[in-house]
Amino acid sequence: MRTKIVAGNWKMHKNAEETEDLLNELINKLPNDKEVQIIVAPTFINLASAVEHLEFTNIGVAAQNMHQAENGAYTGEISADMLQSVGVNTVILGHSERRAYFGETDAIISFKVDTAIKHNMSVIFCFGEELKDRQDKQHFNIVENQLRDGLFHLDKTSWENIVLAYEPVWAIGTGETASPEQAQEMHEFIRETVRKSYGNDIADNVSILYGGSVKPDNAKEIFGKPDVDGGLIGGAALKADDFAAIINAI
């Protein structure tokens, strides 16, 4: 059975005190009786305190990014070992904001995936087309290429560490959501693309999350689609009530 997952990407929001406040709210408000893996991804400097804070809860912690090198002269960067040393074993890679604003290419992201796998970390691998790709009817090609270039060099065992997060760029932070039908159509395509290269076992067991303006009022319909296994949530993850409502929609 596929794992249902709801992950909150906090992006560059919340200082140390605000992080603690939101975590306390989440501890009080998030359900702990649902078959769903809950993850939050605060900023790098608040990861260690988040791990400590959430130690006896059902909420896991992920990093929003990491560098592909083991260590070295990479000013401002964070390695897999550093994340693991504070108890973080999950990392979001390939987010569209990393691709758009920080020049992360499929090749760089694939190196990052390799490093994470080498460290036996779980990867939430983000990908998705831009508006123009969809208007040009290239969205399936783009998504297939991102998958191939980022992940399809992996061996079968490594897929145990992979969660896919389809995030159409035109729906991120815009209030514009893919319709449940558009999400299902793409998720099914993604699963079939994985199936062609890796077979039934991996295709049927990989969790595929949807991300892009998921809110309490649209989560149930999106999560109700058969190939949608949960969500990667941006804006709505910063409000405990909204994040709780989204989790309860699973």
Q: Which residues bind ligand PEP (CB under 6 A)?
A: 9, 167, 172-173, 211-214, 232-236
Tokens standing for 41?
A: 């991804």
For residue 245, the minimal CB distance to ligand PEP (Å) is 14
Q: Beta-strand (E) ranges in the chain?
A: 5-9, 37-41, 59-61, 90-93, 122-127, 162-166, 208-211, 230-233
- In 3D, which of 114, 62, 60, 104 has the Cα closest to residue 83? 62
User: Between 42 and 235, whose beta carbon lies closer to ligand PEP?
Assistant: 235
Shortest spacing between CB 201 and ligand PEP, in angstroms: 28
What's the min distance (Å) between Cβ of 173 and ligand PEP?
A: 4
The catalytically annotated residue of 95, 97, 129, 139 is 95
97 belongs to the catalytic site: no
Catalytic residue check, 167? yes
Q: 31 is written with which tokens?
A: 């359900």
- Number of Cβ within a 10 Å radius of residue 99: 20
Minimum CB distance to ligand PEP smaller for 97 or for 133: 97
d(C-alpha 198, C-alpha 209), whole Å: 19
- Of all residues in the shown chain, the one whose CB is closest to ligand PEP is 234
CB of 75 to ligand PEP, least distance (A): 25
Task: Give the residue carrying structure tokens 């009530």.
Answer: 241
Given the residues 97, 104, 129, 167, select the one marked as catalytic.
167
Question: Closest CB to ligand PEP among 195 and 215?
Answer: 215
Write out the DSSP string of 32-53: SSSS-EEEEE--GGGHHHHHHH
Closest to ligand PEP by CB, 60 vs 234, is: 234
* Cα 110-115-121 angle, rounded to 5 deg: 110
Residues that are catalytic: 95, 167
